[in-house]
């Protein structure tokens, strides 16, 4: 296999007014918060605006979103936001983007449009932007760009790739995709992809998530057949956990349950939402009489009941976790129940999933997970063989792998070399690294666009949560020291030696001498500070600058230091 050491991209020293820029604000070097931009002169087209769900080390954070600062500064250039499909890592950032700036119009496929409207209603932003629905025959035209669409297969209905005609060449982006030769619904528009390739593709951006997997991915129809077998053979209640976002999987589970004479109950807010939208749009076709409510579960014979729920990744508050822990209000595990995980653990979630599996097994359930013996899950992303087929159909001159961690991007780059893309025409980029299209050639820019992560705590996307998170890390690693200082501001005097309280920093009984020395250091420093004119802010600064180097020297740790000033500012009573 060719190595990446041969890659040497051409670099443009400056950007001309006639150049077209392609860059990511999210989605490169990570799986999530996808956001890609095409810019030419006074216009910017945005493709997707997603979130990334936090890892365990991001304490108390709900979402990670792209930094919109560059777009806000150039908001008059933004002409449209185009959504490829309705998954959270492609639409979850929309409310936060709209709170930061106005978007003239959002273009989205049908299923995503329904999900976006619900999301905007929750955030009270429904009237903030107009959403226009598109399909494979639609086009979007601006002064510099013409945008067209081609259907792809993913784990959600109405998924599309995008091709953009610019003044400097054609850019094509797959969105999330796979090739499934026996799809359960819809199909890839092979003919259009081949036609776009025959007209000349300057730069292709392609999904890299499964670049490490070589063989063609399993067909969704095979998973449906396996689920149907489990439905037939289950003697007691059947509980199936899956991704709520995998609409085709959820549809197959529900339809198989009804075909096998079972009633179905759905648990989990996201699962209920997707089932509702799926029914409205005709992707889930089972009679309403087949659904049962939580309070009706006890009335249904065990072998006639199928429960579909969230929690396939071991999320602590999801329905399956509460069932496994015995804290769910309506469902308890009984011996003879079958629990099936129609999913694979996302990297990093394996420990949480195993914990749930053990709890369910201990309670007497028969637990089924994806293995070489059971086809309970398949991916929605292209393997390396499918990535090769895309490149063969579209024949791009230049290539940038996207939507993946750095290792995935590099493996995808090697795959592109294997099918004939020139090594120097492959760009492995980071968020904020612009590519320059100039006269159907692509260059790497020698500057960077600001593209940091923004941490969202609750609904706050101001960036303040990022500072809060840093404090949480400091607290977890180094602890906290509170310094209580008593002063008389009228007479500029410190009244007594400061008192230091430690939480999570050192064990007080073993560090009494060190804390006493620290108190004397602060006392002497404040006596000097109060000898002249000063302010409360300067007093606090003196406390911190005195203690920080002392604690680092003594403990090699740097706790958060919080000065507390007690001020005696009432005048002394006059002597009679």
Residues 132-148: tens digit of each pLDDT: 999 999 999 999 999 99
> Domain for residue 373, yes or no?
no
CA gap 426, 9 in Å, rounded: 7
Indicate whether 207 and 303 sit together in one domain: no
Which of 531, 465, 456 has the alpha carbon at shortest distance from 493?
Answer: 531
> Domain for residue 401, yes or no?
yes
The CATH number covering residue 163 comes to: 3.60.15.10
Which two tokens mark 245? 């976002």
158 dihedral zone (left: phi>0; alpha: psi -120 to 50; beta): left
Pairing of strands 493-494, 441-445: unpaired
Indicate whether 342 and 322 sit together in one domain: yes
The CATH number covering residue 344 comes to: 3.40.50.10710
Pairing of strands 105-108, 78-82: parallel
User: What residues in the chain have per-residue pLDDT under 70?
Assistant: 1-5, 55-60, 347-348, 371-373, 458-470, 472-474, 508, 569-576
Are 45 and 87 in contact by the 8 Å Cβ rule? The answer is no
pLDDT for position 1 = 45
How many independent structural domains does the chain possess? 3
Indicate whether 421 and 529 sit together in one domain: no
Are 399 and 204 in contact by the 8 Å Cβ rule? The answer is yes
Chain segment 228-239, per-residue pLDDT in tens: 999 998 888 999
Indicate whether 43 and 64 sit together in one domain: yes
Answer with the one of 347, 368, 389 that is the final residue of a domain.
Answer: 368
Indicate whether 202 and 274 sit together in one domain: no
pLDDT for position 132 = 97
**In sequence order, what DSSP letters do the residues of 497-551 get, joined into one string?**
--EEEEESSS-GGGSHHHHHHHHHHHHHHHHHHTTS---HHHHHHHHHHHHHHHH
**Full domain range(s) for residue 262:** 220-368
> Domain for residue 470, yes or no?
no
> Domain for residue 259, yes or no?
yes
CA gap 395, 397 in Å, rounded: 7
Indicate whether 158 and 238 sit together in one domain: no
Indicate whether 362 and 497 sit together in one domain: no
Which of 165, 158, 119, 128 has the alpha carbon at shortest distance from 144?
Answer: 165
Indicate whether 14 and 158 sit together in one domain: yes
Indicate whether 400 and 458 sit together in one domain: yes
What residue has token string 């999913």? 343
Are 356 and 323 in contact by the 8 Å Cβ rule? The answer is no
Rg for the chain, CA atoms, rounded: 29
**What is residue 391's three-state secondary structure?**
helix
Indicate whether 230 and 271 sit together in one domain: yes
Are 104 and 44 in contact by the 8 Å Cβ rule? The answer is no
Pairing of strands 78-82, 43-47: parallel
Which residues are CB-contacts of 512 (< 8 A; sequence separation ≥ 6)? none
**What is residue 6's three-state secondary structure?**
helix
Indicate whether 101 and 164 sit together in one domain: yes
CA gap 432, 438 in Å, rounded: 19
> Domain for residue 501, yes or no?
yes
């Amino acid at each position: 296999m060719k190595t990446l050491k041969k890659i040497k991209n051409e670099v443009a020293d400056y950007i001309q007014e006639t150049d077209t820029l392609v860059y990511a604000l999210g989605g490169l070097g990570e799986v999530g918060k996808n956001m890609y931009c095409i810019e030419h002169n006074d216009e910017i087209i945005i493709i997707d605006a997603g979130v990334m769900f936090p890892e365990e080390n991001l304490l108390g954070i709900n979402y990670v979103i792209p930094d919109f600062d560059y777009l806000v500064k150039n908001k008059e250039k933004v002409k449209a936001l185009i959504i490829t499909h309705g998954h959270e890592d492609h639409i979850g950032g929309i409310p936060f983007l709209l709170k930061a700036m106005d978007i003239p119009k959002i273009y989205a496929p049908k299923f995503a449009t329904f999900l976006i409207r619900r999301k905007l209603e929750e955030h009270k932003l429904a009237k903030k932007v107009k959403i226009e629905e598109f399909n494979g025959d639609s086009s979007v035209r601006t002064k510099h760009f013409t945008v067209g669409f081609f259907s792809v297969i993913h784990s959600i209905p109405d998924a599309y790739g995008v091709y953009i005609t610019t003044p400097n060449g054609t850019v094509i982006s797959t969105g999330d995709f796979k090739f499934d030769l026996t799809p359960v619904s819809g199909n890839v528009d092979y003919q259009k992809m081949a036609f776009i390739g025959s007209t000349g593709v300057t730069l292709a951006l392609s999904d890299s998530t499964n670049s490490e997997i070589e063989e063609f991915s399993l067909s969704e129809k095979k998973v449906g057949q396996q689920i149907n077998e489990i439905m037939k053979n289950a003697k007691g209640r059947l509980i199936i956990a899956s991704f709520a976002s995998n609409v085709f999987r959820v549809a197959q589970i529900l339809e198989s349950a009804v075909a096998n004479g079972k009633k179905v109950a759905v648990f989990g807010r996201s699962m209920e939402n997707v089932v509702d939208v799926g029914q409205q749009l005709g992707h889930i076709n089972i009679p309403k009489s087949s659904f049962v409510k939580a309070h009706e579960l006890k009335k249904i014979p065990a072998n006639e009941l199928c429960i579909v729920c969230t929690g396939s990744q071991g999320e602590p508050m999801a329905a399956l976790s509460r069932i496994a822990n015995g804290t769910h209000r309506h469902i308890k595990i009984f011996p003879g129940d079958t629990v099936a995980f129609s999913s694979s653990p996302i990297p990093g979630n394996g420990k949480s999933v195993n914990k749930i599996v053990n709890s369910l097994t201990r309670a007497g359930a028969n637990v089924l997970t994806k293995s070489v013996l059971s086809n309970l899950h398949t991916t929605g992303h292209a393997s390396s063989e499918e990535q090769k087929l895309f490149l063969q159909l579209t024949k791009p001159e230049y290539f940038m792998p996207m939507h993946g961690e750095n290792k995935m991007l590099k493996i995808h780059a090697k795959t592109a070399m294997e099918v004939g893309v020139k090594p120097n025409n492959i760009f492995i980029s980071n968020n904020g690294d612009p590519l320059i299209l100039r006269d159907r050639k692509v260059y790497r820019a020698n500057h960077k666009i600001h593209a940091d992560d923004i941490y969202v705590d609750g609904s706050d996307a101001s960036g303040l949560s990022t500072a809060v998170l840093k404090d949480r890390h400091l607290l977890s690693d180094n602890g906290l020291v509170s310094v209580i200082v008593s002063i008389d501001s009228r007479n500029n005097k410190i009244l007594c030696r400061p008192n230091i309280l430690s939480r999570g920093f050192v064990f007080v009984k073993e560090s009494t001498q060190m804390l006493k020395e620290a108190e004397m250091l602060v006392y002497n420093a404040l006596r000097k500070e109060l000898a002249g004119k000063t302010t409360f802010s300067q007093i606090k600064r003196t406390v911190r600058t005195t203690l920080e180097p002392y604690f680092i020297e003594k403990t090699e740790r740097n706790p958060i230091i919080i000065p507390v000033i007690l001020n005696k500012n009432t005048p002394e009573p006059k002597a009679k």
